[in-house]
C-alpha cells in the first residue's frame, strides 16, 4: 500500500511540466532591475534632501531636469535569456533649481542706494580664501561688478549683477529661488547662478570657465548669490566701506 502511494505521487510529480528556465531567469532579472532602479532613485532623493550650505540655511531641491544613467544589463545565460535592447544615454544635467532659506526676508539694518563699491565689499566677504585682482565696475555705477580670484590654481573671473524686477508673490518669505545653469558648449559663459527674492531682487553670478575652470564650485556660487544683503539698496555700512576702499575702479568696457 505504501509503495503504491509513493508510485502514484511520483507519477503525479513527473506529470507536472517544469517551468521554462528562461522565463524564471528573465523574471528574476527584470525584478532585479526594478529594485535597482527604485533603490537608485531613493538614494538620489535622500541625497537631494540632505544638501545644505554652510552659513546660508536649508536647501530644498525643486523639480528639474535630472539625468539618471540607465542601469547596465545584467550578465545573462546566453542559451536561455535574450540580450536586453541597448538604451541610449539620457541628456546630461544642464540646469537645476532650488530654494535657499535665509531665515530673514531681507538683511536687517538701515539700507541705502547700493553702489558698485558696496558690491565689491560684500563679494570679498562671501568669497572663499584667495588672492583677488582685476576689479571692474559698470559705467554710470550700474550694479554690475567683477573681480578675479586665485585660490592657488590660477586666476578665474567672477561677475555679479543686481537688478530689481516686479515682486513675486508666490515665493515664501525669507527664501531665494535659485537656478544653476551650466553652459558646457561655451566656456565664456561657464556656470550662471541666478537668485530671485520675493521682493523682486535678482542677483546673477557669472563664472566663465575659460581658460581652465570656474572660480567657484556650485555650492560656493549659490552661497554668494543667495546672500540676503544683496539688493538695489544695501546696508549703509557696506556702502560707506565701499566708498572708502574702492573710490576709483576701472570701468568695464
For the chain, give every domain's residue range: 1-50, 99-245
Q: Cell numbers of 195, please? A: 537668485
Helix ranges (DSSP H) in the chain: 2-15, 21-50, 116-126, 218-225, 236-245
Q: Is the peptide bond before 183 cis (omega within 30 degrees of 0)?
A: no
Q: Cell numbers of 165, please? A: 524686477
* 188-242 pLDDT per residue, tens: 888 999 999 999 999 999 999 887 889 999 999 999 999 999 999 999 999 999 9
Residue 74 predicted with pLDDT over 90: no
Distance CA 125, CA 223 (A): 11
Residue 37 predicted with pLDDT over 70: no
Interhelix angle 116-126/218-225, nearest 10 degrees? 140
Residues 6+ positions from 211 with CB-CB distance below 8 Å: 187
Terminal alpha carbon distance of the chain = 106
State the DSSP code for 103.
S
* 167-193 pLDDT per residue, tens: 877 666 678 899 999 887 778 888 999
State the DSSP code for 174.
T
Distance CA 201, CA 25 (A): 58
Phi/psi at 161 (5° precision): -130, 145
CA distances from 57 to 25, 100, 170, 222, 227 (A): 49, 7, 20, 11, 10
Confidence label for 109 from pLDDT (cuts 50, 70 and 90) = confident
Distance CA 204, CA 94 (A): 17
Distance CA 13, CA 9 (A): 6
Distance CA 249, CA 145 (A): 10
Chain-wide mean pLDDT for the chain? Answer: 70
> pTM for the whole thing?
0.61
Distance CA 148, CA 243 (A): 20
Contact 159, 146 (CB under 8 A): yes
Amino acid at each position: 500500500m505504501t509503495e503504491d502511494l509513493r508510485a502514484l505521487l511520483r507519477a503525479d510529480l513527473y506529470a507536472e511540466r517544469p517551468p521554462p528556465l528562461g522565463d524564471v531567469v528573465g523574471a528574476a532579472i527584470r525584478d532585479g532591475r526594478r529594485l535597482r532602479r527604485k533603490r537608485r532613485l531613493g538614494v538620489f532623493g535622500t541625497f537631494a534632501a540632505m544638501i545644505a550650505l554652510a552659513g546660508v540655511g536649508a536647501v530644498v531641491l525643486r523639480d528639474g531636469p535630472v539625468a539618471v544613467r540607465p542601469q547596465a544589463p545584467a550578465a545573462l545565460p546566453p542559451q536561455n535569456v535574450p540580450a536586453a535592447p541597448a538604451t541610449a544615454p539620457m541628456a546630461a544635467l544642464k540646469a537645476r533649481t532650488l530654494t535657499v532659506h535665509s531665515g530673514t526676508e531681507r538683511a536687517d539694518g538701515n539700507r541705502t542706494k547700493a553702489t558698485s563699491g558696496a558690491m565689491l565689499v560684500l563679494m570679498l566677504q562671501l568669497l572663499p580664501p584667495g588672492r583677488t585682482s582685476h576689479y571692474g565696475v559698470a559705467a554710470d555705477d550700474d550694479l554690475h561688478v567683477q573681480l578675479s580670484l586665485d585660490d592657488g590654481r590660477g586666476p578665474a573671473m567672477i561677475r555679479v549683477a543686481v537688478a530689481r524686477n516686479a515682486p513675486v508673490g508666490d515665493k515664501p518669505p525669507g527664501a531665494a529661488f535659485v537656478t544653476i545653469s551650466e553652459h558646457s558648449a561655451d566656456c565664456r559663459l561657464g556656470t550662471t547662478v541666478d537668485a530671485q527674492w520675493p521682493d523682486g531682487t535678482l542677483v546673477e553670478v557669472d563664472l566663465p570657465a575659460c581658460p581652465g575652470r570656474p572660480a567657484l564650485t556650485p555650492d560656493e556660487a549659490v552661497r554668494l548669490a543667495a546672500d540676503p544683503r544683496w539688493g538695489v539698496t544695501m546696508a549703509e555700512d557696506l556702502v560707506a566701506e565701499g566708498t572708502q576702499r574702492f573710490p576709483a575702479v576701472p570701468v568695464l568696457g
